[in-house]
Amino acid sequence: MLLNGVQLELAGDGCIPILNLVSSAVDSIVHLAPTSIVFVVLPMFEAKACS
């Protein structure tokens, strides 16, 4: 499994490694490969359905 193009592996003690984020401009296009799993954070996003 890759995270931001880097092989994701457990640390020597079996713990999850530090996950470094990748920031993108708010108006940038995000390309996802089929069957991808993503975690996206949208700071200050205001969805009308949630108000």
Strands 2-3 and 6-7: antiparallel
How many independent structural domains does the chain possess?
A: 1
pLDDT at 13: 93
**Tens of pLDDT, residues 17-40:** 887 777 888 788 888 888 888 877
pLDDT at 15: 92
CA angle 43, 36, 6 (to 5 degrees): 85
Q: What percent of the chain has pLDDT over 90?
A: 6
Domain containing 29 equals: 1-51
* CA neighbor of 1 nearest in space, from 25, 22, 17: 17
pTM of the model: 0.39
